[in-house]
Amino acid sequence: MATCLLVGGACAADAYYTGYLGDVIDLHGSSSQGTQVYLFMTGPGLPTDGVTLTDISQRADQGQFTVVDLDSSGQWSMQWDTSRLAQLINPGTYTVYVTQKPVDYSHLGSSDTYKTLSVYLQDAGTRTGSISSYTLHLDDSGTTVSPTPTLSAEIPTPTFPVAPPEQPTVPVPQYSAAPPSAETTPSPVPLQPLVPVIAVLACAGLAIYRSGRR
């Protein structure tokens, strides 16, 4: 089963791609049978049974296909450069078929033997971006994974909340505790020499007394 070429048949594609004429589309897939897969495309102005992906003059109903080898693990890949067809086909929707056997559109087998990719190619003159190469990955269950551009996407610079303005610091007055006042001990008052004075007075009084009696 060519799991990289989606299911679906003539009515609905298994995967969808929108790009421009000139894009390089990376196709990847796997197949559980054989050693090769076979690709062809159909679309406006092309033979009903399809042509190769690189030369619209090579018709699938004449046994002409874009052939891609499988690697040892059953995987295959190719880069489809649509610029080779830019002057040969018109903008529009084209369907790419991948099959396990070299059969054209009219001889497709059951849906598990082929897959399809619907490609909408716009006029390159209307391109607004700079991406020129895309990769389409499909897993083994046939689930489509969104195309991923080969160029790195621009990552916006993260923004961070602005810190509030720093409030001015008001100096806090510093107070120093006054040391406890030391109690002043009064100095002792020296004693007057009272004894000699009293003795002198006593002697003087005695002398006066004696002189009075004389």
List the chain domain ranges: 15-149
Does this model's pTM top 0.85? My answer is: no
Q: What is the pLDDT of residues 127-181, one digit of tens each?
A: 765 444 555 444 444 444 444 433 222 323 344 455 555 666 666 556 555 555 5
34 pLDDT band, cuts 50/70/90, is confident
Q: Which region among 101-110, 116-125, 185-194 has the lowest average model confidence (pLDDT)?
A: 185-194
Give 5's pLDDT tier (boundaries 50, 70, 90): very low
- CATH superfamily of this structure's domain 15-149: Immunoglobulins (2.60.40.10)
Check residues 120 and 205 and name the one with the higher pLDDT.
120
Task: Please say if the pLDDT value at position 11 is more than 60.
Answer: no
**DSSP secondary structure, the chain, as one string:** --TTS-S--SSS-SEEEEEETT-EEEEEEE-SSSSEEEEEEE-TTS-TT-B-SS-TTSBGGGT--EEEE--TTSEEEEEEEGGGGTTTS-SEEEEEEEESSS--GGG---GGGEEEEEEEEE-GGG--S---EEEEEE-TT--EEEEEESSPPPPPPP--PPPPPPPPPPPPPP--PPPPPPPPPPPPPPPP-HHHHHHHHHHHHHHHHHHHH-
pLDDT digits (tens, 9 = 90+) for 45-85: 999 999 999 999 999 999 999 999 999 998 999 999 998 89
Q: What is the mean pLDDT of the chain?
A: 73
